[in-house]
Amino acid sequence: MWLRTSCDLTFDITVPTPFILMLRPRSGAQQWIAHEEYSLSPSVPVFEFTDNYGNLCQRLVAPPGIFSIHTTADVITADNVDQAPGAPFVEIQNLPDTVLSYLLPSRYCESEKFSEMASLITLGQQLGYNQVSAIETWLRNTIRYEPGSSDIPISAVEVNSRQSGVCRDLSHLGIALCRSLSIPARLVVGYRYNLEPMDLHAWFEAYVAGRWYTFDATQSDLKGGYVAIGYGRDAADVAVYNQFGPPVYPMKQSVEVQLIEKEEI
């Protein structure tokens, strides 16, 4: 399907403020960026680099005054999310080197604390995809999804104790549970068609049978319509914006995802 995504952020800046943005989606296995706009007002010098996770990041210093960021993209993305019940667990020794860091505990995914819990949740499941699926189902049934309930990322331990959270929080717990079973897992931040209420979204991916699969405990079933912006170990690595110095908050943040008709050119 063709989606038109947009994200607009507006800040009221008082002192020159360094930012690192992560708002330029890449074309990847499941999406093609056919059209993209990225504008800053006022226009300032920007340096782009690729981080350790392959994300395109933009560095800039926002000048005092109103500073706004406008991005939009037309993306072709899969109508359905690949699913693979029965896809096997990959033994640690057979994982690619580049995947190993997704086994480690990270800021918001204290995976070393979830071994026992993960074993219980996945009891009797075939190793691999089915374990992750059981984790996703457990999250969906157990942790109350409360979109918009918080701005600050909380860690898997806190999510488990609150028993509720935003999309990012549920993903953090899902990731921690996967890693505790030695299944590499990572956070994805992006857009999702028909999300209610519309906002930036977060979900997670797990590595089984030699590739990454999408999981999303906030949705009743796995449909397509995902557009990934960034990947990382958790929300510490994947922030749509990181800002340094005295904190500034967006005066306005608006996100839209529309289905569009696009003819082949």
Sign of CA dihedral 169, 174, 177, 180: negative
Measured between alpha carbons, how far is 9 from 26 in angstroms, rounded to an integer? 20
Residue of 1, 4, 10, 51 interacting with a second copy (CB under 8 A):
51
Angle of CA points 109, 113, 117, to nearest 5°:
105
CB 174 within 8 A of CB 131: no
**Residue 221 Cβ vs a second copy, minimum distance, rounded to whole Å:** 24
Query: Of residues 12-41, which lie at the interface with a second copy (CB under 8 A)?
Result: 18, 20, 26-29, 32-41
Closest to 165 in 3D by CA, of 234, 217, 109: 217
CB neighbour list of residue 11: distance below 8 Å, 6 or more residues apart: 17, 62, 66, 67, 68, 248, 249, 250, 251
Among 92, 209, 251, 259, binds a second copy (CB under 8 A): 92
The interface mask with a second copy, positions 153-192, x = CB under 8 A, is: -----------------------------x----------
Applying CB under 8 A, which of residues 1, 76, 117, 248 lies at the interface with a second copy? 76
Neighbours of 233 (CB within 10 A): 23
What's the CA gap between 179 and 31, in Å, rounded? 26
Task: From 130-138, 196-204, 222-230, 236-244, give the range in contact with a second copy by CB under 8 A.
Answer: 236-244
CB of 257 to a second copy, least distance (A): 19
Q: Which of 150, 164, 242, 253 binds a second copy (CB under 8 A)?
A: 242
Do 184 and 102 form a contact (C-beta atoms < 8 A)? yes
Smallest separation, CB 25 to a second copy (Å): 10
Q: Which is nearer to a second copy, 23 or 134 (CB)?
A: 23
Residues that bind a second copy in the complex, under the rule CB under 8 A: 18, 20, 26-29, 32-43, 45-52, 54, 56-61, 68, 70, 76, 91-93, 97, 100-101, 103-107, 110, 182, 236-237, 242, 244-245, 264-265
